[in-house]
Structure 1
Amino acid sequence: MNTDQLKQEIIDYSKEIGIDKIGFTTADVFTELKERLKRQQELGYQSGFEKGTNEERTEPKRLLPGAQSIISIAMAYPSRMRKDAPKSRKEERRGFFCRASWGMDYHDVLRDRLQKLERFIHEKVTDAVTKVMVDTGELSDRAVAERAGVGFTGKNTLLITEEFGSFVYLGELITNIPFIPDSPIEDGCGDCRKCIDACPTGAIVQGGQLNAQRCIAFLTQTKDFLPEEFRSKLGNRVYGCDTCQLVCPKNQKVDFHHHPEFEPEDDIAKPLLKPMLTISNREFKEQFGHISGSWRGKKPIQRNAIIGLGHYKDKTAVDELISIMNNDPRPVIRGTAAWSLGKIGTEEAFDAITKAMEKESDQDVLFEMEKGLAFREVQSSKG
């Protein structure tokens, strides 16, 4: 088997099926990553969404016995919506899904491309052994792509490509075929620290190290009460955060619309907030089930939408928030609604919180109601 020729054929075929970048690396242990993961655990910086042990995440041969190489792919996604996309207006406030959740779920799209690549390889090499992964697998997509020369890791911990900046989705294919590896790219951040300085919560501890417990992108996906220190930072985000990407010099004027699957749908990428409060499970799945931001279900999105309405001080949402505070069976939603009502700060809202406290029995919800009422004192002091 001529692996050099096969490698070139794979590269050519990847372009035919819409893969924007491809790179090859060995299946050797990711030694540096293993140390970094260990350090993240010691510091308590992990998100809790990580899959597998440190060994499984850094030793490809544990995932595919006999592995020799890993093929990394990247597909670019848009960074801008069309100019006439709907804007958030008074009484019609909108939330915002991060760019990585625009269009069709990228897991499905990249898995489709990788499976095509997999079939192509098996047609060429009948005894080839392969394993496809997209984000939800044990391996770090970024670490694989970095070692395969697809891009370099920026100080914001995202992979940055020369052509598409960091607006790329990543996936990989492990195989027993011994391809000649590509060379990694040199770090391109230099002395720049714009992402570190711009992070709303200080989650980027230093260049290349992220405290996921403070990262808005991860916090928007949690299902419990959002710690209060982050609520004012959330703004109108209902899922994810793009701040560290938007300030990156490597991303300026970068906006690629190569793939129709990734094009944003106006009312999905920027949904009206008030309808999110009462959306049913079925409606949520029908409207948002095809995007990656729906993977945690509607509860985190609803919680974030409630906080967003408080951020906007949207008085037109008071009646709906009162209804939720009084009737929703989920403590996190009731409590967050009470907090948001206090943030909006009308007398009707404060009176409703006081009345609701008389029948509320959940201590966490009562604590949030007290926080909501505390906004009245803040108003009076500014008075």
Structure 2
Amino acid sequence: MNIHDLQHQFIAYAMSIGVDKIGFTTAAPFTELKNRLRRQQELGYQSGFEERDINKRTEPLQLLDEAESIVAIAMAYPSRMPNAPVGKKGARRGIFCRASWGVDYHTALRERLKLLTAWLEEHVEGVRVESMVDTGALVDRAVAERAGIGWSAKNCAIITPEFGSYVYLGELITNIPFAPDTPMEDECGDCRLCLDVCPTGALIEGGQLNAQRCIAFLTQTKGMLPDEFRTHIGNRLYGCDTCQTVCPKNKGKINWLHEEFQPDPELAKPLLTPLLTISNKEFKAKFGHVSGSWRGKKPIQRNAILALAHFKEEAAVPNLVALLTKDDRPVIRGTAAWALGKIGGEQAQAALLTAMLKETDEEVLGEIDKGLAFFNQ
């Protein structure tokens, strides 16, 4: 079989197993990206979750020594949730970002990449393949951009004409010299809505993100959330979709294509108060299959506390008092202390004054002081 026919059949197979877009590029280094990543590193804009070796992130030959081309794939995920539950006083709800609705996309894309690899192994003797999703060394968006999946937008997402930016990305490097696709023209134009509405100013300029200020990153951290970001979290438990939801290119892109990505409303918008006392076992059983669970329950619980403070949910005060006085994790005790001050009321104030006499952790004591300071405003 010649390379043209092979590529054509490979594309057809990819579509048959649920891949929504597929593109090809060479295994040449991502030279411009390397310079941008170095600049990001110098500015301290990286999240810390990335592969630290910039050469591995930008030179495919470091990952597969016979690399000839890279295959980029994309799968679309939903932007809307039918019959979404509505929170109300006494029963407030948080929200997971759209990329955490349904089954963990790492699992879904790895399954497709595994099938694609098996197909190549069956049809090409001596084929070599290295596949990755998100946690791999290569920068998914840079590969997708060069392979013609979509253009790299000002909000740092890949936007596809068919599905907007609501796509998961993955790739495989291979020693097969597939014909490369042509990158798309940037269609953002003069629009800067995403930059203007970013809650924390994390989008420094078009295509440049300070991950340390990005709510999507902040919701995944495990420590005490810096003061300046607490009121910006809102009721977000994991991730942030603001720069996607305002994008005109996403208008009308609903993407109800894959049953595995369709959200369970009670998981995508869960009640906040039950999250405060959920056990590790219960958390894993309930949320373990979604991508937003990867950091464990602690960040989710911390964010749930901040969400209750955002709503000034008085009904949650007894639960927060219990966390402040009984939880063995300083981050949870401290966040509860701050939230009690934000919510206010006699019970909250009394609990903070009592806790101040018993608490021994300096950071938690600092949060108790912050909580009490709300009563003097």
| TM-score (ref. length: structure 1) | 0.98
Match of 1:25 in 2: 25
Shift of 1:377: 1.1
Identity %: 63
Shift of 1:111: 0.5
Match of 1:367 in 2: 366
Match of 1:186 in 2: 185
State the alpha-carbon separation in 2 of the partners of residues 169 and 346 from structure 1.
Answer: 45
Give the counterpart letter for 1:70 in structure 2: I
Q: Which SS does the other structure have where 1:23 is aligned? A: strand
Match of 1:381 in 2: none
State the alpha-carbon separation in 2 of the partners of residues 218 and 148 from structure 1.
Answer: 27
Is 1:42 aligned to 2:42, yes or no?
A: yes
Shift of 1:137: 0.3
Match of 1:108 in 2: 107
Give the counterpart letter for 1:125 in structure 2: V
Q: Which SS does the other structure have where 1:358 is aligned? A: helix
State the alpha-carbon separation in 2 of the partners of residues 204 and 4 from structure 1.
Answer: 41
Q: Per-residue CA shift, 1:200-249, capped at 9, x if unaligned?
A: 00000000000001000000000000011111100000000000000001
State the alpha-carbon separation in 1 of the partners of residues 235 and 248 from structure 2.
Answer: 24
Shift of 1:187: 0.7
Q: Which SS does the other structure have where 1:85 is aligned? A: coil
Match of 1:341 in 2: 340
Shift of 1:347: 1.2
Match of 1:4 in 2: 4
Paired positions, count: 377
Match of 2:324 in 1: 325
Is 1:141 aligned to 2:140, yes or no?
A: yes
State the alpha-carbon separation in 2 of the partners of residues 312 and 143 from structure 1.
Answer: 39
Match of 2:223 in 1: 224
Q: Which SS does the other structure have where 1:118 is aligned? A: helix
Q: Per-residue CA shift, 1:48-73, capped at 9, x if unaligned?
A: 11024000000111111110000000
Give the counterpart letter for 1:27 in structure 2: A
Match of 1:70 in 2: 70
User: What residue ranges of structure 2 are gaps of 5+ in the alignment?
Assistant: none
Match of 1:299 in 2: 298
Give the counterpart letter for 1:2 in structure 2: N
Match of 1:284 in 2: 283
Q: Which SS does the other structure have where 2:187 is aligned? A: coil
Is 1:248 aligned to 2:247, yes or no?
A: yes
Match of 1:157 in 2: 156
Q: Which SS does the other structure have where 1:213 is aligned? A: helix
Give the counterpart letter for 1:259 in structure 2: H
* Structure 1 residue runs of 4 or more that deviate by more than 6 Å after TM superposition: none
Match of 1:356 in 2: 355
| TM-score (ref. length: structure 2) | 0.99
Shift of 1:5: 1.0
Give the counterpart letter for 2:129 in structure 1: T
Q: Per-residue CA shift, 1:314-339, capped at 9, x if unaligned?
A: 01100010010001110000000000
Shift of 1:287: 0.3
Shift of 1:4: 1.1
Q: Which SS does the other structure have where 2:71 is aligned? A: strand
Match of 1:59 in 2: 59
Shift of 1:132: 1.0
Match of 1:16 in 2: 16
Match of 2:85 in 1: 86
Q: Which SS does the other structure have where 1:22 is aligned? A: strand
Matches within 5 A, 1:228-239: 228-239=227-238
Is 1:118 aligned to 2:121, yes or no?
A: no
State the alpha-carbon separation in 2 of the partners of residues 212 and 307 from structure 1.
Answer: 20
State the alpha-carbon separation in 2 of the partners of residues 70 and 93 from structure 1.
Answer: 45
Q: Per-residue CA shift, 1:82-103, capped at 9, x if unaligned?
A: 0x22111110000000000000
Match of 1:97 in 2: 96
Q: Per-residue CA shift, 1:6-37, capped at 9, x if unaligned?
A: 11111111111110000000011000110010
Moved more, 2-11 or 142-151: 2-11
Match of 1:195 in 2: 194
Give the counterpart letter for 2:46 in structure 1: Q
Shift of 1:273: 0.3
Shift of 1:126: 2.1
Matches within 5 A, 1:261-276: 261-276=260-275
Q: Per-residue CA shift, 1:164-219, capped at 9, x if unaligned?
A: 00000000011000111000001110110000001000000000000001000000
User: What residue ranges of structure 1 are gaps of 5+ in the alignment?
Assistant: 379-383
